[in-house]
Chains A and B, each alone.
Chain A
């Protein structure tokens, strides 16, 4: 029952996005533009200096991820669409998990386009341990989207939503950011891979923490 509702809600999000493609197109274009701006800034850098650039990738992804959260929220606000799901005879935490799931799927798709663009424009090599990079990317995206979806609900009644959400989101996401950028730097050049245990723990811990906690609190959060 639970999984069926989750499927109904998520496939509705996918149907909308595959039809309109607005989130995908706008996030990729915007993040791509940021890559170009970074490109201008670092055009005079030496190969050695460019070495530390992969960690910057996550600044772009976090910004694009926030845009995605915002867009998802807007879509569900139009003519009260979210209210319909909240009044449906389903456990309300499903609404939260469906949002996290579709947000994560969209974001991973966006990243799959963005990362190659990043490598080409900023003259970066291919990660030397690509599998670990992809695992870190997916874990980080899941944690970020769980946290972000939770905070979007926290701020949903705020009339300063657009600015309050990032101000709540980015400070709380700092451990995630430090973890993923450290791991990225290590797997990109296959150096210091043995010293990452704590950082992997942060990635997994964040995903677990912000998948479990909001599921318990969502009921209190959505009631107006």
Chain B
């Protein structure tokens, strides 16, 4: 009961913070000198990206802990984090693409970070597909954990190699070099903070949902066994 109340209180604060964040994003913060109002996409883009990479990190850490402790809790956490991570990675790609079109007139650019994010998206899809396509729960957890860790080890290598690769190609666009006034920095940091708490909230909900699903499966299995036993006794 305490947990539920805590969740409610948390939810109310989060809701208010989100409205404040929207106010800061759309009304309070000034338009940028060159990009104008399109800069407002940035607040969502960067905040989503933070969540996307945070979620990936949490999946990797939970995977390691799962392999050591073998407790289902960590497996559920890894899975939930990946599911949420996939959603935020999609948001990063979509918002990045829209921003790119508005500012640079291209929907896609092989910017190293953007490219790594796209690859991250594929890794998430692969991870989740792998997970759901293995019927044996125990094995699914073990194998997914191993893949989660390997992917996390490989992602920095992928990022580095894409950066080098860009280095020898003509670079059309550089994202660096625009200075933000304090009001924009505050708005951005606030957005990121709200998104991180939103992620934590989602993580808790999805983990609980998965826990209920597993409990339901166990119950179903028990009922099935009972029925079998009764039939055998007859």
Q: Which A positions have Cβ atoms within 8 angstroms of B?
A: 150-151, 154-155, 157-161, 163-164, 167-168, 170-172, 174-175, 178-179, 182, 192, 195, 198-199, 202, 205, 213, 217, 220-221, 224
Within 8 A of A (CB), among B65-111: 67
- A174 CB → nearest B CB, Å: 5
Please state if A157 and B168 are interface contacts (CB–CB under 8 Å). no
The answer to whether B129 and A157 touch across the interface, beta carbons within 8 angstroms, is no
Contact partners of A171 in chain B: CB under 8 A: 119, 122-123, 126, 158
Q: From B7-15, B135-143, B180-188, B221-229, give the one contacting chain A.
A: B135-143
Contact A154 B151, CB 8 Å, known A178-B161, A199-B164, A224-B136: no
- Would you call B23 an interface residue if the criterion is a C-beta within 8 Å of the partner chain's C-beta atoms? no
Known: A151-B147, A158-B134, A159-B133. 9 other contacts (CB 8 A): A157-B139, A164-B126, A168-B126, A171-B122, A172-B123, A220-B67, A220-B146, A221-B143, A221-B146
Nearest-Cβ distance from residue B25 to partner chain A, whole angstroms: 32
Among candidates A158, A170, A202, residue contacting B130 with C-beta atoms closer than 8 Å: A158
Judging by beta carbons under 8 Å apart, are B119 and A182 in contact?
Answer: no
Interface pair B129/A160, CB less than 8 Å apart: yes
Query: Which residues does chain B contribute within 8 Å of A213, judged by CB atoms?
Result: 150
For A172, give its contact among B133, B154, B165 (CB under 8 Å): B154
Number of interface residues of B (CB under 8 A): 29
**6 smallest A-B Cβ distances: which pairs?**
A175-B161, A158-B133, A160-B133, A167-B126, A171-B122, A168-B126
How many angstroms between the C-alpha atoms of A158 and B135 in the bound complex?
Answer: 8
CA separation between A157 and B38, bound complex, in Å? 47
Least CB distance, B118 to chain A, in whole angstroms: 9
Inter-chain contact B165/A154, CB cutoff 8 Å: no
Q: What residue in chain B is nearest A217 (Cβ atoms)?
A: B146
Q: Report B112 CB to chain A, min CB distance, Å.
A: 11
Residue in contact with B158 in the complex, picked from A154, A175, A198, A221, CB distance below 8 Å: A175
Q: From known contacts A158-B134, A168-B147, A174-B162, infer whether A220 and B122 are also in contact, taking CB-CB under 8 Å.
A: no
| A179 and B150 within 8 A (CB) | no
Which of B67, B136, B154 has the largest count of A CB atoms less than 10 A from its CB? B154
Q: If the complex has contacts A160-B129, A164-B133, A171-B126, are A179 and B146 also in contact, measured as CB distance less than 8 A?
A: no
A158 surroundings in chain B (CB, below 8 A): 129-130, 133-134
Q: How far is the CB of A176 from chain B (nearest CB, A)?
A: 9
Contact call B130/A154, Cβ cutoff below 8 A = yes
17 contacts between A and B (CB under 8 A): A157-B136, A158-B133, A163-B129, A164-B126, A164-B129, A167-B129, A171-B119, A172-B158, A174-B162, A175-B158, A178-B162, A179-B161, A202-B157, A202-B161, A220-B67, A221-B143, A224-B139
**CB <8 Å contact, A157 and B134:** yes
Q: How far is the CB of A55 from chain B (nearest CB, A)?
A: 11
Interface members, chain B 192-227 (any A CB < 8 Å) = none
Q: How far is the CB of A206 from chain B (nearest CB, A)?
A: 8
Alpha-carbon distance between A154 and B147 when the two chains are bound, in angstroms: 7
B189 at the interface (CB under 8 A from A): no
B residues less than 8 Å from A199 (CB atoms): 164
Q: Are B168 and A174 in contact (CB under 8 A)?
A: no
How far is it, in angstroms, between the C-alpha of A75 and the C-alpha of B139 when the chains are bound?
Answer: 23
B125 at the interface (CB under 8 A from A): yes
Question: How long is the Cα–Cα vector from A157 to B139 in the complex, in angstroms?
Answer: 8
Residues of A within 8 A of B136 (CB): 157, 224
Residue of A at shortest CB range from B143? Answer: A154
